[in-house]
A and B are shown apart, each in its own frame.
Chain A
């Protein structure tokens, strides 16, 4: 955040590498023209210099009226890629060209938008590797443009309050605990699939009963999903932080993340027990993400 603030005070125009080339060409033409007293070459020199000078305001104003908003970021596992959907709105009355988006605080992720007409918006997705587990700040979005000639670059830093979550990388050698831990209070068994408590949705499999299809979601234009319900059952799978063997914190969290995924895949209702947090057993996508998020934020 501090970096974004300091760069805001910086002069927004900076020369690009081809500016050095331009300077070289200008000096070469000047040298040749003056030593030969060649008026046509002088004209070439002045044309090139003038076009460059005139292009400065073009470049300077090329980011005027542009606003960038980061849309909601989907979490990813460490080692995967984070996709950052960005919408750039052009509030000015001129079409903007050749805009490059970058995340200065997050490595060299960059993306280009070729054209945004006046009053319109353009979307793009910035991708960068999710390195470390946890919740992170995006910091600032950086818009640059070297349009029209590419000798100068204008820069605009837009601080973005958006945050993103990186789940621990699912890894580990321990097998998913086969035994289901018995819950002290409840002796009843949770039967997955049929029951009264709504537990979430999953993709519809052909041949299943159509009774539990989430028709409201279908009406919203989504794919066929089956609502899942759980019934009280005896076997409860608690994935316990204490039950993971290695002492290394990250390795433990990785193991737990793997178990969570495996349990979800096996459709065995599971709960998560961490030193501070306990998530009661359940099943389904929201539950999965709740657990993974708890693992990601674990300190």
Chain B
């Protein structure tokens, strides 16, 4: 008897299918961030479950389970060297879930699997938060709800009904989600658990400029940041130099930025000149601290400082999309350069060859005017057969001569680094700036998308009369790179592009791509960057700032309860039994009749009452008779016909109005 009962707690097949589908959708964030054998093992476990389930096999033996867990732990240890930190932790959860899949059997375990799947969704968000991943996890979330609903529906329905129910649930939950998202206090719990740095070398920028470091990025179509110009003042594409890091220390072709720059003293800033350009920048997380702004930023957003060299430096590593406002001016003249500051700006490594030194000296010998020297140097790059290429081959860090006098093939970083070194040799203070150049305009979302591929390096030299000025030797060698952007440059050179670039030539795909970018931008700016600070400014903007978190917790709970109570009342009314409604409507009729002088005796049946009422109210006799007949038909029908009921209600409504 007991064992028989146990049998019907087995997981029915259909909810299991929903659960499996949901688990599949939690996988995408794991590919590419975890070692690929982790999600693969998970997939294998899922497939094995479907093979085992009809045969009644499952993982029963405790010894086997222990062996599997031990195996998993050792595999993880082997591949990470430790089981602490974020990625090993997530891998561990994924792998233990695989074992659980093999073991799960009863209805209770089904519910545990659902809980675990929610934790997997959470893990997914820890690995990546971009829009595509978020959509995947939303689908997983929906499928999990469908699995639960199907579980409680048993064998009763086909594919769509549970999905429709989930849709209704989500639609009703949506306003609540938005309210909670806006108002639920984002308290910083101080429970910060330490996470090992996510990715050692994420595709992006570096604080060193070495041959190949920028051209390495040229193939990456990942977004670096997105920019809106809220005032509508948009500089031309050729002037869109996004200032990243200033590198002061040069070693020939290799340049380096200070590891932790101090804040720029206010006194050393000259008054800005030209038109102010306001930007809203949403930066993708890169685990480092550089931030970008149009040349030259004059203010620092909160949580960042303006470092010497006028570039932005975040106080914290940027681990999630961050949105900031910054104002830039095309020029900030600063013509004071202390001799003690000037000294390091002329330093060159001793390993520079006499030939390079001679080249620089030759320009200096011809003219004492720094601008003339710069002009001559640019002329040198322009006329001596230098070529722009994003695969210039290997250069060592001391191969300045090789580049300048032999191969003459390079990417922007080669030109910037060699130019700055040459300027220093010629006695002109110079430095290298890395950042991005240009961007792609999105006409749907009205923003510029700057990709990793737009990475660029250029030079700045110091003139005694006007201070630091930008000089971009790349513009001399490959003007199209500066004027049209890297993509145009590359496309003109090689007709074969990536698939998505080819597709983008079709208008429909182009629109879809722009639409996706816009959505993705909205996700980053409206959702992901909404943190405690944003919430505080939101509260300030709606005028409820200054309350403690308790206020909001209690407030949001009270609000949610009120909403729920309203909704519950409405549901109750809506699904109230028809039979009751018939009676309620009839009672309304009786009250109305009583007001007109024909009260119904408690012992009187509807038919007797209607006969008496028609006599008492002869004007209404026709309607009274109709109401009585409909009432009897409805009251004694096994299931009242809703259309007839509506008719009945209408009739009773009309009864008072007519008299």
Q: List chain A positions with a Cβ less than 8 A from chain B.
A: 17-18, 21-22, 24-25, 28-29, 31-32, 34-44, 46-51, 53-58, 60-61, 64-65, 91-94, 97-98, 108, 112, 114-115, 119-120, 129, 145-150
Query: In the complex, A91→B111 CA distance in Å?
Result: 31
User: Which label, helix, strand, loop or mixed, suits the secondary structure of the A interface?
Assistant: helix
Nearest chain B CB to A126's CB is how many angstroms away? Answer: 13
B125 touches A38 (CB 8 A): yes
- From known contacts A61-B575, A65-B575, infer whether A40 and B134 are also in contact, taking CB-CB under 8 Å: yes
**Tally of chain B residues near chain A (CB < 8 A):** 69
Which of B122, B145, B151 is A41 in contact with, Cβ under 8 Å? B122
13 further contact pairs, Cβ within 8 A, besides A18-B114, A48-B118, A148-B169: A17-B111, A34-B188, A37-B186, A46-B176, A51-B145, A53-B176, A57-B571, A58-B571, A64-B575, A120-B639, A129-B1, A146-B152, A147-B149
Query: In the complex, A21→B114 CA distance in Å?
Result: 9
B115 touches A22 (CB 8 A): yes
Q: Which 7 A-B pairs have the closest CB atoms?
A: A114-B154, A119-B639, A98-B152, A115-B156, A65-B577, A114-B156, A57-B568
Query: In the complex, A93→B530 CA distance in Å?
Result: 43
B577 touches A64 (CB 8 A): yes
Q: Does B488 contact A (CB under 8 A)?
A: no
Which of A60, A61, A65, A147 is B152 in contact with, Cβ under 8 Å? A147
Nearest chain B CB to A66's CB is how many angstroms away? Answer: 9
A64 touches B576 (CB 8 A): yes
- Residue numbers in A under 8 Å from B149 (CB-CB): 147-149
- From known contacts A61-B571, A65-B576, infer whether A39 and B177 are also in contact, taking CB-CB under 8 Å: no
- Residue numbers in A under 8 Å from B577 (CB-CB): 64-65, 91-93
- Residue numbers in A under 8 Å from B319 (CB-CB): 36
Nearest chain B CB to A171's CB is how many angstroms away? Answer: 21
Nearest chain A CB to B15's CB is how many angstroms away? Answer: 11
Which of A35, A55, A64, A129 is B572 in contact with, Cβ under 8 Å? A64
- Residue numbers in B under 8 Å from A37 (CB-CB): 186, 188, 320, 531-532
Nearest residue (CB) in A for B560 is A53
- Residue numbers in A under 8 Å from B35 (CB-CB): none
B568 touches A56 (CB 8 A): yes
- From known contacts A48-B118, A65-B575, infer whether A39 and B111 are also in contact, taking CB-CB under 8 Å: no
Binds A, one of B68-76, B189-197, B291-299, B353-361: B189-197
- Residue numbers in A under 8 Å from B195 (CB-CB): 36
Q: Does B342 contact A (CB under 8 A)?
A: no
Which residues 544-582 in B have Cβ within 8 Å of A in the complex?
560, 564, 567-568, 571-572, 574-579
Query: In the complex, A211→B579 CA distance in Å?
Result: 52
User: Which label, helix, strand, loop or mixed, suits the secondary structure of the B interface?
Assistant: helix
Nearest chain B CB to A244's CB is how many angstroms away? Answer: 32
- Residue numbers in B under 8 Å from A43 (CB-CB): 134, 177, 181, 527
29 contacts between A and B (CB under 8 A): A18-B115, A29-B122, A34-B191, A35-B192, A35-B193, A40-B129, A40-B527, A40-B528, A41-B126, A43-B527, A44-B125, A46-B181, A48-B141, A50-B174, A51-B170, A56-B568, A58-B571, A61-B572, A64-B575, A91-B578, A93-B576, A93-B577, A97-B153, A98-B152, A98-B154, A114-B153, A114-B154, A146-B152, A147-B153
A50 touches B177 (CB 8 A): yes
- From known contacts A29-B118, A48-B118, A64-B575, infer whether A97 and B192 are also in contact, taking CB-CB under 8 Å: no
Query: In the complex, A49→B179 CA distance in Å?
Result: 12
> Most A CB atoms within 10 A — which of B122, B141, B153, B639?
B122
A34 touches B187 (CB 8 A): yes
A93 touches B575 (CB 8 A): yes
Nearest residue (CB) in A for B581 is A93
Which of A46, A92, A150 is B151 in contact with, Cβ under 8 Å? A150
Which of A54, A112, A148 is B567 in contact with, Cβ under 8 Å? A54
Which of B1, B125, B155 is A114 in contact with, Cβ under 8 Å? B155
- Residue numbers in A under 8 Å from B527 (CB-CB): 39-40, 43
- From known contacts A43-B177, A64-B576, A147-B153, infer whether A58 and B169 are also in contact, taking CB-CB under 8 Å: yes
- Residue numbers in B under 8 Å from A48 (CB-CB): 118, 141
Query: In the complex, A108→B527 CA distance in Å?
Result: 50
B571 touches A36 (CB 8 A): no
- From known contacts A41-B125, A53-B560, A112-B154, infer whether A35 and B575 are also in contact, taking CB-CB under 8 Å: no
Query: In the complex, A17→B156 CA distance in Å?
Result: 24
Query: Using an 8 Å CB-CB cutoff, how does the interface string of B138-170 with A read, 1 for contact, 0 for none?
Result: 000100010011011111110000000100011
- Residue numbers in A under 8 Å from B126 (CB-CB): 32, 36, 38, 41
Which residues 105-151 in B have Cβ within 8 Å of A in the complex?
108, 111-112, 114-115, 118-119, 121-122, 125-126, 129, 134, 137, 141, 145, 148-149, 151
Q: Does B536 contact A (CB under 8 A)?
A: no
- From known contacts A32-B122, A32-B126, A34-B188, infer whether A18 and B111 are also in contact, taking CB-CB under 8 Å: yes
Nearest residue (CB) in B for A60 is B568
B173 touches A150 (CB 8 A): no
Query: In the complex, A150→B129 CA distance in Å?
Result: 29
A25 touches B320 (CB 8 A): no
B152 touches A39 (CB 8 A): no
- Residue numbers in A under 8 Å from B638 (CB-CB): 119
Nearest chain B CB to A59's CB is how many angstroms away? Answer: 10
Q: Does B172 contact A (CB under 8 A)?
A: yes
- Residue numbers in A under 8 Å from B187 (CB-CB): 34
Query: In the complex, A39→B322 CA distance in Å?
Result: 11
Query: In the complex, A159→B576 CA distance in Å?
Result: 21
Query: In the complex, A53→B579 CA distance in Å?
Result: 29
Nearest residue (CB) in A for B148 is A149
Query: In the complex, A95→B263 CA distance in Å?
Result: 67
A28 touches B122 (CB 8 A): yes
B529 touches A39 (CB 8 A): yes
Which of A35, A57, A129 is B189 in contact with, Cβ under 8 Å? A35
Q: Does B642 contact A (CB under 8 A)?
A: yes
Which residues 171-213 in B have Cβ within 8 Å of A in the complex?
172-174, 176-177, 180-181, 184, 186-189, 191-193, 195
Which of A39, A94, A115 is B531 in contact with, Cβ under 8 Å? A39
Nearest residue (CB) in B for A100 is B152
B191 touches A31 (CB 8 A): yes
A42 touches B111 (CB 8 A): no
- Residue numbers in A under 8 Å from B169 (CB-CB): 51, 54-55, 58, 148
A54 touches B176 (CB 8 A): yes
Nearest chain B CB to A65's CB is how many angstroms away? Answer: 4
- From known contacts A50-B176, A60-B568, A115-B153, infer whether A91 and B579 are also in contact, taking CB-CB under 8 Å: yes
